[in-house]
Amino acid sequence: MYGSSPSAQIKDLHVAKREEDIGFYAGFVGASFMVGRALTSLLWGMVADRYGRKPVIVLSIISVIIFNTLFGLSTSYWMTITTRLLLGLLNGLSGPIKAYSIEVCREEYQALGATLVSTAWGIGLIVGPAIGGYFAQPAEKYPEIFSQDSFFARFPYFLPCICISLFAVGVLIASVWLPETLHKHNSDQVKGVSIEDLETTQYKPDFKGHIGVHEESGLPRKENLFKNWPLMSSIIVYCIFSLHDMAYSEIFSLWAVSGKRYGGLSFSTKDVGEILAISGLGLLLFQTLLYPPLEKLVGPINSLRLAAILSIPLLVAYPFMAKMSGIPLMLIVNLASVLKNTFSVTIVTGLFILQNIAVAQDQRGAANGIAVTTMSIFKAIAPAAGGAIFSWAQKRQHASFLPGDQMVFFILNVVEFIGLLLSFKPFLVQRCNN
């Protein structure tokens, strides 16, 4: 997540010649992280399956501390691109932590474990930009604390980045006490089979991730993940919704700070930070208190379908919010932001549960690696495409068909609708318990 406002940072780097082009350049900064993650996520997942979840988690947190700090010290556009790319390459956290959250819980609490991870992801997506909104450019916002000659005036985006890095240091220290879960569930399932046999022989899981034994040889069989349709279908749908969510996150910040004459809200980065902080709180309350009983009542697939359906009319209303002002505008935007982020994380959580119940325990690292790799490709496209579409839309304020930002949110809804369609049979299939 960003530790600063991407649009404001691009503006200060003076790489965009016109205000309408800021979104275009900001999109590539976000995309660079996802490109790096797409290149190495599968590898990190395989490492996690071989050597354990904890080593990968620890190394990934260290990479966040180093490269997020360097990102805050960026003085050129290409330095911002490079630091984000390196962070993506060396950050293998996403796949192993998803596997870990399922494995560390008893079966009846696995939905809660999945919820906590997706909640953390959603809050990070919100709170990261919020921290940037509050602490970026501190010499301008808080001149009584930070002088114009200070270090923080020279590097105006270092403060939010170092805040996140210090938080990561605390997480790194806490991770020392994490128990390893790689062999937690299946250490007693295969008796008399050597480690060498496990590494070189094929085995097949049932619904709960138990190891199947080859009838002729007595050795475990390993399932080809790419032929596991319940897994692959959930990953494809996950990618579509991830494309939507990443594009929405990029567009929302750009739209909120753009001027009224361009169809935006004319908010300051501090205003955006407050909105995202409130959304983070609402998301935390929903995911910890309401999502587990909702998932238990209707299941992960129906809950994600409901969230996708409700997202569409909500996004239709966004462009018309620009006609409002003052307190009513702040109230409506806050409510819309809470609802939209809640719907997004509900969808992601449902798909996350489907992916992890589709494979055996000691293939979950690789399975989540495949999911993160493909999702990262889509998320790499999203910021660049979202920024480019936003810049294009700002130049057609007086078009006869879907003028200005109406076109932006229409395109977001098209992507959401495609994801909704793919969430139905025969495309999306949930592995059934045998």
How confident is the model over 150-160, as pLDDT tens digits? 888 888 889 98
- Average of pLDDT values for 328-356? 90
pLDDT above 50 (res 1): no
User: Does 286 have pLDDT greater than 70?
Assistant: yes
Domain membership of residue 305 (yes or no) is yes
CB within 8 Å of 24: residues ≥ 6 apart: 16, 384, 387, 388, 391
Q: What is the number of other CB atoms lying within 10 angstroms of the CB of residue 207?
A: 15
Burial (0-12, 13-18, 19+ Cβ within 10 Å), 289: exposed
Q: pLDDT at position 125, please?
A: 66
pLDDT grade, residue 203 (50/70/90)?
very low
Tell which phi-psi region holds residue 266, choosing left (phi > 0), alpha (psi between -120 and 50) or beta. left
Cβ contact 373:334 at 8 Å? no
Any domain includes 67: yes
183: pLDDT strictly greater than 60: yes
Assigned domain for 318 exists? yes
pTM: 0.72
Q: How confident is the model at residue 102 (pLDDT cuts 50, 70, 90)?
A: confident
pLDDT at 197: 42
d(CA 176, CA 186): 23
Per-residue model confidence as pLDDT tens digits over 23-56? 677 777 877 888 888 888 888 888 888 888 889 9
Give the model's confidence band at 237: pLDDT under 50 very low, under 70 low, under 90 confident, else very high: very high
Q: pLDDT class for 210, splitting at 50, 70, 90? A: very low
User: Count H helices, E strands: the chain?
Assistant: 16, 2
d(CA 95, CA 186): 19
What average pLDDT is seen over the chain?
81
The CA-based dihedral angle spanning residues 79, 87, 72, 119, taken in that order and rounded to the nearest 10 degrees: 140
| Chain segment 349-362, per-residue pLDDT in tens | 889 888 888 888 77
Asked whether residue 109 is domain-assigned, the answer is yes
Model confidence over 18-27: pLDDT tens digits? 766 676 777 7
pLDDT value at 213 more than 60: no
pLDDT at 201 exceeding the cut of 80: no
DSSP state, residue 213:
B
Residue 21 is encoded by which pair of tokens?
């082009």
DSSP 3-state of 212:
strand
Contacts of 10 (CB under 8 A, 6+ apart): 16, 22, 25, 26, 29, 77
pLDDT at position 238:
92
Q: Output the pLDDT for position 126.
A: 67
Structure tokens given for 349:
């959580």
Tell me if 189 is assigned to some domain. Answer: no
pLDDT, mean of residues 292-308: 89
Residue 111 has pLDDT above 80, yes or no: no
Q: Which domain holds residue 73?
A: 5-179+227-423
Q: Is the pLDDT of residue 412 over 80?
A: yes
| Span of 6-15, 35-44, 88-97, 305-314 with lowest mean pLDDT | 6-15
Alpha-carbon span 171 to 176, nearest angstrom = 9
* Calpha distance 42→62 (Å, rounded): 19
Q: What is the pLDDT of residues 241-252, one digit of tens each?
A: 999 998 898 888
Q: Specify the CATH number for the domain of residue 113.
A: 1.20.1250.20
CA distance 338 to 332: 10
The pLDDT value recorded for residue 330 is: 92
Residue 375 confidence (pLDDT) above 70:
yes
Total domains in the chain come to 1
